[in-house]
Structure 1
């Protein structure tokens, strides 16, 4: 049992610090789901505490029905570890954690999100089942993202972009694709915006930014070195820096002035980085609309002109292509 009691150090301290930070001045935790907190906090946990988190996520409904002793036995830990885990997740005790999980799984069941969440896609599964699982996972990820997204941070980012002379977006791999989508949207409403995935071009673009400009870094893990370097360069030039990530204590989030958080729901063949793409696009779509609201006249005129410019390339009505 000694092994179980060792894990009271760094992992718990990190999560406890994050809970305290998210409570802010009001003393209340943010209105995000219990399972979202567990998923996003798992990376910061070690040993026994991590085993508890992984067991809860593997079968939330069973965890909600289990006594503290049963959960300790099933996760190979101790009741004392379960108690520390509850504190790390922002709960006063195990009863509160159970109620929170039960309420969340109940809502999910009513909404039909639990059809295939947590079940691995098998090679022989029919496409109808695969589709159901993808829809359930994406729906859950969208709701989790909405629950943990700080709208005040979205407001700050939108205000900064609306007033910026230049906006530069940084990302690598799949995050670069997300960044390019945002670049195309902002460009259509007259924002001077660039998107870079190559670190050399991105660093050069970041070096041209200054006070009043904005740098936006996209990385689900928040640990992509190239994206961190590019956003850091933008910040060093005085630009407002924005991070879109799933991890609030990641290196990317820690160097940013504004942090926009997303959630993901991994499935077979769609690990976190891929399953995070739709929630990322939803957050950026919200940010884009918020910018358009703040630049309404300019945005409306620009959108009209750009639409007219490409209108001639659409198939003529009544003509079979």
Structure 2
């Protein structure tokens, strides 16, 4: 129906399609703000779908995203709470199913042209800097290890003072990546803003496509998340973030195929002497 809807209703529809689970958890005002419309427009959208109102849309989205699904033999309702008395096998299925669904939704809504542009910029960059705070720094660290191992000069900054003193020295052609689930973390926003002012190509990785971080980014990469009882959205966002950055890394590696293969072999050989071989059993053991 999307192409045939009025422009304002299309914006609501795009928000629903990009984050159906988020709509199921959001108020009508939150959905209106995220789609850049008004509550009245969201209500008109619901009626265009044949639904009486927003409460019915939320229910429909909850049923669509939280219904029992069968993944690798698991049957679990990812919308249910984890209770203290739940057996560990059911908790494991719930967590795994939520992660799988988040990855699927992340890839489904991901702008692959943006991934391609990010990879192209990184491949040509003099240096790459990643900014984050808290758990986002851990995600940035994994990307730094990946790129560093194939010869891309890469740094991670989780401390705003160090990040600012580095980002102000960036130049056109350098790449700066800011990672924030909310897209509103002040420290990350500040570091990426300075990088942008320095002329670097800026990339935002966030779950909120209309966040402040996006406003200072040349390239935007977005994720989807599924919360569980003890893993709120910022914690649940880590694996989808890693998946997106892994995709960017592989796209960079493709562009420098021979160099990547040689670098991976050299780095593997460099640490091979620090791995213990299989334990040889003595006679009688």
* TM-score, normalisation: structure 1: 0.73
Alpha-carbon spacing, 1:17–1:297, altered in 2? closer, same or farther (3 Å) = farther
CA distance in 2, matches of 1:102, 1:119: 11
Does the 8 Å CA contact 1:214/1:242 hold for their aligned counterparts? yes
Whether 1:253 aligns to 2:211 is no
**Runs of at least 4 residues of structure 1 off by over 4 A?**
16-19, 29-34, 100-108, 110-114, 317-320
Does the 8 Å CA contact 1:163/1:212 hold for their aligned counterparts? yes
* TM-score, normalisation: structure 2: 0.81
- Partner residue, 1:46: 29
Alpha-carbon spacing, 1:102–1:318, altered in 2? closer, same or farther (3 Å) = closer
Residue 108 (structure 1) shift: 6.5
Aligned runs of 1:122-271 on 2, under 5 Å?
122-271=83-232
Give the alignment partner of residue 93 of structure 1, picking from 44, 49, 55: 49
Residue 262 (structure 1) shift: 0.2
CA distance in 1, matches of 2:202, 2:15: 23
- Partner residue, 2:20: 35
RMSD of the alignment, in Å? 3.3
CA distance in 1, matches of 2:165, 2:117: 25
Specify every segment of 5 or more residues in structure 1 that has no aligned partner in the other structure, as ranges.
1-15, 24-28, 51-80
CA distance in 2, matches of 1:106, 1:275: 16
Specify every segment of 5 or more residues in structure 2 that has no aligned partner in the other structure, as ranges.
1-6, 33-38, 52-56
Q: Deviations over 1:161-201 (max 9, x none)?
A: 00000000000000000000100111110000000100011
Q: Deviations over 1:15-57 (max 9, x none)?
A: x76954x99xxxxx599466146269x37x428x78xxxxxxx
CA distance in 2, matches of 1:159, 1:18: 35
CA distance in 1, matches of 2:8, 2:266: 49
Whether 1:273 aligns to 2:229 is no
CA distance in 2, matches of 1:32, 1:129: 29
